[in-house]
Amino acid sequence: MSGPPLLEARGLRKAYPLGPGLFRSGKGQIGALRGVSFAILEGESVALVGESGSGKSTVGRLLVGLESPSGGEVFFRGRPLSSLSSEETARFRREVQIVFQDPFGSLNPRIPVGRAIAEALAVHRIARGRGAAERTGELLRLVGLKEADGDRYPHEFSGGQRQRVCIARALAVEPRFLVADEPVSSLDVSIQAQIVHLLLELRAQLGLGYLVISHNLGIVGQLAERVLVLYLGQVVEEGPTRSVFPTPLHPYTKALIEAIPRPDPARRGERRLLKGDVPSSSAPPAGCPFHPRCPEVMDRCRREASPWWEPTPGHRATCHLHDRLASRNLAG
């Protein structure tokens, strides 16, 4: 592909004021993101993974312009969001949409879902009146619902059906890219598979690109071509899914993959759950942010930030382990 990426994050930082509490004065900040950079090409499907508190949802909100970064910049087709004209901003808002984790909280409980979809069409001047009604019916059918469902209210749907409605509303403006923030985490396991299948179908049919934000690596392997692993507000590994899953480079990524539930009873004992909690974002550890929990920790990890290590093109991690592995290879 020629030209700039569809979306690009350059050195994104985001800090939130630390509110007062029982044991704190309210001074200080929580550093949700600490220099996050990556680029997403047109039509590409990327996953952003990590535990709760790693900053994943903050990245999603910054990418779609719901929040502004404390530092760094988001670029849309090579242009910083902060400098877009009103016309360019309107194009950005049509081409980049977000689907949130909680489908019930994303819908107005006082209006039928068909009207919610039609309002999106009207706001973006795509269709009104009869044209909007026809397009709403098409969108509901596209996500596996019936045209008549447009007359129903959010509380009359199941969780999975509400998520389908939210996806239909996002598709109403004919986006090129969807940020899906934990799109199945609030759903039953059987329903999760249906939504994952729907997202795969929509990508094939419409050529959509995705940023799938999830702590569930089981669905990530199905939806994404490339994986970004986030820990304590920093990307610690990135690479093609086909490379990261079988050969993770960072101990954190390895721990996340080993924690994926295994359907084979004979292999369930192989799971090794990650110990400890994510450190506080208001006081991150020195050196490598993962070192307090890392089973491979070295003294150097406690003192120095980790360099990037890229043993194969496109697959890299920020970790001191490559020095140890290189020394072993030389000694052998």
CA distance 101 to 320: 35
The predicted structure's pLDDT at residue 164: 95
Residue 254 structure tokens: 């390895």
Helix pair 159-171, 113-123: axis angle to 10 deg: 20
Q: What is the pLDDT of residue 327?
A: 46
Place of tokens 């409605």: 165
Identify any residues that bridge with 34 across adjacent strands, giving them in sequence order: 13
The pLDDT assigned to 232 comes to: 93
CA 223, CA 211: separation in Å to the nearest integer?
9
Per-residue pLDDT tens, the chain, 332 aa: give them: 457 899 999 999 999 887 665 555 556 778 889 999 999 999 999 999 999 889 999 999 999 999 999 999 999 999 999 999 999 999 999 999 999 888 888 899 999 999 999 999 998 888 888 889 999 999 999 999 999 999 999 999 999 999 999 999 999 999 999 999 999 888 888 899 999 999 999 999 999 999 999 988 888 889 999 999 999 999 999 999 999 999 999 999 999 998 887 665 555 555 566 777 788 887 889 999 999 999 889 999 999 988 899 999 999 999 998 766 544 443 44
DSSP strand E in the chain: where? 7-17, 29-40, 45-49, 71-76, 79-80, 96-99, 177-181, 209-214, 226-231, 234-240, 308-312, 315-318
Nearest to 6 by CA among 64, 66, 76: 76
The pLDDT assigned to 4 comes to 87
Going 81 to 107 to 227 to 318, the CA torsion angle's sign is positive
Q: 7-110+153-331 in CATH: which number?
A: 3.40.50.300
How many whole angstroms separate alpha carbon 91 and alpha carbon 46?
22
**What pLDDT, on the 0 to 100 scale, is given for residue 269?**
52
pLDDT, residue 217, reads: 87
User: Contact at 8 Å (CB) between 168 and 117?
Assistant: yes
Q: Determine contact, residues 234/36, Cβ cutoff 8 Å.
A: yes
DSSP string, 204-261: HHH--EEEEEES-HHHHHHH-SEEEEEETTEEEEEEEHHHHTTS--SHHHHHHHHTS-
- Write the single-letter amino acid at 184: V
pLDDT score for 270: 56
In contact, 302 and 286? CB cutoff 8 Å: yes
